[in-house]
Amino acid sequence: MDKTVVYQGVEGAYSHLASSNLFPNSKLVASDSFLESMQMVEQGKADFGVIPIENSSAGRVEEIYRLVPKMQLNIIDEYFHPIRHALLAKKGYKLEDLKTVSSHPQALAQCMNNIKELNLEAISEFDTAGSAMKLEKSDDKTHAVIASTMAAQIYNLEIVKENFSDYLGNVTRFIILSKEEKIPAFQEDKSYITSLIFSVRNIPAALYKALGGFATNGIDLIKIESYSGIGSMYSTQFHVDLYGHTDELRLQLALDELRFFVEELKIIGVYERHEYRDKMCELS
């Protein structure tokens, strides 16, 4: 147990479960927020941070995309964790008496159809497992929470309904953050992802021109996110994930072309593509 890994939430949260799977022999430390998790890694209080960045049902975790440009960290890996929400309540509950349900906003969004079917009022809380911890200390048998089945065991709650997500195959993508840059050596038989952030110059069709180099050099873009730059509503930043390694000539040529049209370019990670992406391609 020579490494320390920080995650947002409390024991039983999905970030805790993902961290346990990724780093089974490491010291796991909970934090109150994503910002605190990142700061702990930046300050050397933790070696790695495990952060959720998007979900297959509810989309991106918007807060992360606002924090990433400000961080002094590197993405060293990605991990896809299956999310199996359960509806939990106090022991001795009666289903017809349940009136409200609380959880993290992402979890509520991922279960909204089932919440409406039970005619429950949704209440946003800071964390899935945190909601379970809070309910354990309450005597309210009209209230339920959405969290993992492990949270039910930890906080002495009863499972009202397993597989409470609206859609099967609910998955969250996590990124692993490190203060140190850890770029794997390029190997022809492996697939890689490069993540970068840039802001375009104030010229006509700047984004179109900036992305043109990827097309001409055969680089596949996985996703592109846009948001206002730090301290300005007029400066737009873009977060791009693409297939490729910075040691590949084709990506080097594409980045050279990109630099001509951007004011700022920051490569925030080069890492191996997770095997789950291959499963997604097989299903599509």
Report pLDDT digits (tens) over 88-104. 999 999 999 999 999 98
Among 40-44, 223-227, 277-281, the least confident range: 277-281
- CB 68 within 8 Å of CB 237: no
Q: How far apart are CA 37 and CA 29, in angstroms?
A: 9
| pLDDT score of 283 | 45
- Under 8 Å CB-to-CB from 282, ≥6 apart: which residues? none
Digit-coded pLDDT (tens) for 100-125: 999 989 899 999 999 999 999 999 99
Number of residues that make up the chain: 284
Among residues 252, 184, 195, which one has the least CA distance to residue 71? 195
Q: Report the percent of the chain where pLDDT is more than 70.
A: 95
Alpha helices in 28-127 (DSSP H): 34-42, 62-67, 105-110, 112-117
Q: Supply the pLDDT for residue 31.
A: 95
Top pLDDT among 283 and 242 is at 242
Q: Decide if 174 is catalytic.
A: yes
Backbone angles phi, psi at 66, to 5 degrees: -80, -30
Tokens of 90: 């106090």
Say which residues have a Cβ less than 8 Å from residue 267's Cβ, sequence separation at least 6: 194, 195, 196, 246
Token output for 26: 């490491």
Which residue matches tokens 């969290």? 147
Considering the candidates 34, 164, 174, 198, report the single residue annotated as catalytic.
174
> Does residue 172 have an active-site annotation?
yes
Is 229 within 8 Å of 235 (Cβ atoms)? yes
Mean pLDDT, residues 237-265 taken together: 94
Q: pLDDT band at 284, cuts 50/70/90?
A: very low
pLDDT score at 112:
96
Per the residue annotation, which of 172, 194, 214, 261 is the catalytic one?
Answer: 172
Evaluate if residue 57 carries a pLDDT over 80. no
What are the structural domains of the chain?
4-82+171-178 (3.40.190.10), 86-161 (3.40.190.10), 192-283 (3.30.70.260)
Nearest alpha-carbon partner for 265 in 273, 253, 274, 256: 256
| Residue 88 C-alpha from the chain's centroid | 24
Q: Which residue(s) pair with 100 in the sheet? A: 121, 143
> Which of 57-80 are b and which e, b meaning 16 or more Cβ less than 10 Å from the residue's Cβ?
bbebbeebbebbbebebbbbbbbb
Q: pLDDT class for 61, splitting at 50, 70, 90?
A: confident
Percent of the chain topping pLDDT 90:
76
Average pLDDT (194-209) is 89
- 152-183: per-residue pLDDT in tens? 999 999 999 999 999 878 899 999 999 999 99
Closest by Cα among 90, 10, 15 to 48: 15
Give dist(CA 236, CA 248) in Å, integer: 28
Segment 238-255 shows an average pLDDT of 96
Q: Is 71 left (phi over 0), alpha (psi -120 to 50) or beta?
A: beta
